[in-house]
Amino acid sequence: MASFPNVTNKVKAFSIKCSATAATPLSQSQDLEERVFNFAAGPATLPEKVLKKAQSELYNWHGSGMSVMEMSHRGKEFLSIIQKAEGDLRALLNISEDYAVLFLQGGATTQFAAIPLNIVKPEDSVDYVVTGSWGDKAFKEAQKYSKPKVIWSGKSEKYTKIPSFDSLEQTPDSKYLHICANETIHGVEFKDYPDPKNGILVADMSSNFCSKPVDVSKFGVIYAGAQKNVGPSGVTIVIIRKDLIGDAQGITPVMLDYKIHAENNSLYNTPPCFGIYMCGLVFDDLLAQGGLKEVEKKNKKKGDLLYNAIDESKGFYRCPVDKSVRSLMNVPFTLEKSELEAEFIKEAAKEKMIQLKGHRSVGGMRASIYNAMPFAGVEKLVAFMKDFQARHA
């Protein structure tokens, strides 16, 4: 780690404060003192209200005499939990009855295989738009079960852009067009979606799921790991048009067959019960906030604050992503003086802002500001960034 004796020895200890927490009641203030602002990319921060509700219900759920972790997944108690979770998710995204909602396991990475196995044959052509590491991984997995083609890749420009949809040369007989709606590592987000000339649109929405309204009817399949925006790790959500279910390849394992899970209402085997319960609490909280339009407004406000701080730093901080496709969920940035990055991360951690180190494959810093990251957390980060720049510019 680089040291800077001529600079840091003159710096007095400081503490970043922000207006949003100034008038916090004592009990809440104690909670805030104990907790950090967690900018991790996933598992990620969860809403305080949700954590406290789960805490209050942990020992004895709704007078049942047991914890959700102890319930039979086929008992009436858990059935009420999973049914409400699905109903609330349908309400949030306005999901019609033409679609099945599945609560699965294995992460979005498992879906890289499940999707071609379920909806195409080995000889079928499928198209992939690769805007980052996760799109690339999805393409490579699809090679085992179909004939995928990368029709656009941002790799040569270090995954900082999204293509013009008009310029996409789609394969004439492609069965689906796959995108990653938000690339967690590189901070690139689709603001609109391409129309497949043939087949259906498939999207990995793991890192911006339920961060804004989405017209589900434009997609054949949406899939997402829960651990970034809607719950703890261990739950994967698949939203799939029902007419796409039931024609899986013969080699498809039972646990990857959407028909099996749809017919059994996500209860073919023991599901991640507590994770689904937590997702349900998050969905309920998002509805209580006014739905995804209101959630999107809050996310834009946070994103604007952080990106403006980067853009107004006169080059001290830099975000490599094209401004038109910058993610509202994952904000990567670097320092003009790269040797200061380790010091930045270390000092931020002392100020209770953690997990700001960029992904190992790209370096730099990354602030993940998912739904549950409060505005106060972004305020505090921006105040710290300005103070750090004043001391090190």
Active-site amino acid positions: 134, 204, 228
Burial call 235-270: b when 16+ CB within 10 Å, e when fewer? bbbbbbbeebbeebbeebeeebbbebbbeebbbeee
**CB proximity list for 190: less than 8 A, separation 6 or greater:** 131, 162, 179, 181, 182, 325
In 3D space, the residue among 20, 17, 56 whose CA is nearest the CA of residue 373 turns out to be 20
Query: 3-state DSSP call for residue 285?
Result: helix
Distance CA(283)–CA(89), nearest Å, equals 6
Task: Report whether the peptide linkage leading into residue 25 is cis, meaning its omega lies within 30 degrees of zero.
Answer: no
Asked whether the beta carbons of 262 and 245 are under 8 A apart, the reply is yes
Q: Are strands 353-354 and 37-38 parallel, antiparallel or unpaired?
A: parallel
How far is C-alpha 83 from the geometric centre of its chain's CA atoms? 23
Q: Are strands 147-153 and 125-130 parallel, antiparallel or unpaired?
A: parallel
Query: 3-state DSSP call for residue 211?
Result: coil
Sign of the torsion formed by the C-alpha atoms of 96, 97, 99 and 102: positive
Query: Hey, which residues does 153 pair with through a beta bridge?
Result: 130
